[in-house]
């Protein structure tokens, strides 16, 4: 057998080893070769079967362990594999395999052409949204930021009074990434994601967010095109309106908030802010006064991101339900399980596994590994 050094590797002996496959442990009689010049060792069967690492797992067994470990705690994944698949392995092996494949997926997202192909083939208007949730790490609670690029077909135009009755189309494609990092690092990851998906800097794009200033600052650096629309999540805005209407009875508060939203859609941000200043708060209590100041400050900070009426006419979303649900269901369900405390790098790798599943690239990732 040829060696990488150009010399011949000699057959030494047959070595019997146990390999963990998708049907359990199997015993394999493998041929073992070694080169007397460079001392390199080769086991052709393992290279052919894709068995690598100290745990000797077949590719499909690796996939099963990562799937089990990314859906439940590692202890529960161990029990589920034994009960459902008769695969006996330890929670430590499952954790190590998730950590290894999570790192590999991070590299794959930025280097593989497959995410680009999937995004380019999809139809619809491009959207970007981001949201965070708190993760318990060994260094304390930290925010993990989920960021999603997606495409969605517009729906029929809607009148202001029917803004909340619309049923939006599901995304035709979506690609999520996550990280625990400072703002500028998060912003740089958005740029890398755009590059990986083949989006130019002047791409027509809707950016939906909760109005945090750092998001707009970072987005302005990464998305500089003339057709970029900044949109504050209307449901997040409603929280400020409801805070100002707390002293009112429930029915009256809902009616007051609903009327203000319709006025905002009809008037646009700047005129609506002036309108609010003219009509004043719904009552004169100290609680309402403090909430009113916060509401006006929030609106002033985002006065150029409140053009909901135009977006309703175009059939485009005005809320960030996609990212809100994604943060809760994609990341929170796994990373916020009881008693979980993560090292940051491991939390990010587990989050990447969940993002690959959320993005519909799970099969594509494993197929690419087999093809390689």
224 and 299, same structural domain? no
Q: In terms of DSSP bridges, do strands 205-209 and 228-232 run parallel, antiparallel, or are they unpaired?
A: parallel
Cα–Cα dist 149/323, whole Å = 10
| 295 and 346 part of one domain | no
Confidence label for 372 from pLDDT (cuts 50, 70 and 90) = low
Question: Given a cut of 60, is residue 32 above it in pLDDT?
Answer: yes
SS3 85: helix
Domains of the chain: total? 3
In a domain, 313, yes or no: no
Paired tokens of 76:
């529960």
Per-residue pLDDT at 63: 94
Nearest partner of 319 among 152, 142, 124, judged by Cα = 152
* 224 has pLDDT over 80: no
In a domain, 342, yes or no: yes
Q: Are residues 91 and 222 in the same domain?
A: no
**Could you tell me the pLDDT band of residue 371, with boundaries at 50, 70 and 90?**
low
Which segment, 146-155, 284-293, 322-331, is predicted with the most confidence on average?
Answer: 146-155
pLDDT over 90 (residue 25): no
pLDDT at position 229 over 70: yes
CB 51 within 8 A of CB 67: no
Single pTM value for the model? 0.88
Name the band, by pLDDT with cuts 50, 70 and 90, for residue 314. Answer: very high
* Three-state helix/strand/coil letters over 12-72: EEEEEEEEEECCEEEEEEEEEEECCCCCCEECHHHHHHCCECCCCECHHHHHHHHHHHHHC
Mean pLDDT of the 281-310 span:
92
Strands 205-209 and 125-137: parallel
Residue 5 lies in a domain: no
Residues 113-149 have pLDDT tens digits of 999 999 999 999 999 999 999 999 999 999 999 999 9
Q: Are residues 121 and 219 in the same domain?
A: yes
> Does the pLDDT value for residue 24 go beyond 70?
yes
**Residue 356: per-residue pLDDT:** 97
Q: Does the residue 72 lie in any domain? A: yes
DSSP code of residue 171: P
State the residue range of the domain holding 164: 112-233+319-361
Contacts of 119 (CB under 8 A, 6+ apart): 149, 151, 173, 175, 197, 198, 199
- 235-271 pLDDT, tens digit each: 999 999 999 998 888 899 999 999 999 999 999 999 9
pLDDT, mean over the chain: 90
Q: What distance, in Å, lies between the first and last C-alpha atoms of the chain? A: 22
Same domain, 227 and 341: yes
Q: Over the Cα atoms of the chain, what is R_g?
A: 26
265 occurs within a structural domain: yes
């Amino acid at each position: 057998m040829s060696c990488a050094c150009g010399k011949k590797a000699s057959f030494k002996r047959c070595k019997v080893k146990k390999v963990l496959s998708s049907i359990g442990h199997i015993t394999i009689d493998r041929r073992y070769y070694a080169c007397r010049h460079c001392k390199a060792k080769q086991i052709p069967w393992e290279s052919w079967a894709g068995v690598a690492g100290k745990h000797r797992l077949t590719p499909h067994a690796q996939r099963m362990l990562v799937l089990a470990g990314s859906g439940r705690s590692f202890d529960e994944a161990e029990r589920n594999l034994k009960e459902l698949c008769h695969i006996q392995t330890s929670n430590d092996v499952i954790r190590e395999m998730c950590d290894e494949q999570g790192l590999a997926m991070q590299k794959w997202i930025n280097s593989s052409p497959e995410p680009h192909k999937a995004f380019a083939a999809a139809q619809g208007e491009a959207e970007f949204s981001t949201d965070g949730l708190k993760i318990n790490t060994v260094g304390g609670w930290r925010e993990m930021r989920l960021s999603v690029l997606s495409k969605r077909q517009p729906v029929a135009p809607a009148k202001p009074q029917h803004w909340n009755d619309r049923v939006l189309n599901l995304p035709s494609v979506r690609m999520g990434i996550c990280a625990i990092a400072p703002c500028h690092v998060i912003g740089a990851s958005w740029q890398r994601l755009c590059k990986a998906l083949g989006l130019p800097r002047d791409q027509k794009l809707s950016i939906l967010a909760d109005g945090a200033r750092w998001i707009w600052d970072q987005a302005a650096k990464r998305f500089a095109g003339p057709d970029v629309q900044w949109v504050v999540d209307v449901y997040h805005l409603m929280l400020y309106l409801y805070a100002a209407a707390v002293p009112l009875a429930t029915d009256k508060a809902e009616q007051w908030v609903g009327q203000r939203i319709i006025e905002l859609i009809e008037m646009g941000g700047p005129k609506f802010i002036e309108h609010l200043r003219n009509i004043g708060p719904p009552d004169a209590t100290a609680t309402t006064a403090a909430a009113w100041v916060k509401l006006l400050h929030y609106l002033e900070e985002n006065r150029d991101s409140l053009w909901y009426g135009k977006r309703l006419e175009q059939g485009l979303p005005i809320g960030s339900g996609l990212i809100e649900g994604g943060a809760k269901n994609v990341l929170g369900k796994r990373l916020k399980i009881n008693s979980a405390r993560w090292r940051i790098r491991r939390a990010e790798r587990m989050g990447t596994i969940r993002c690959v599943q959320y993005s519909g690239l799970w099969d594509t990732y494993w197929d690419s590994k087999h093809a390689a």
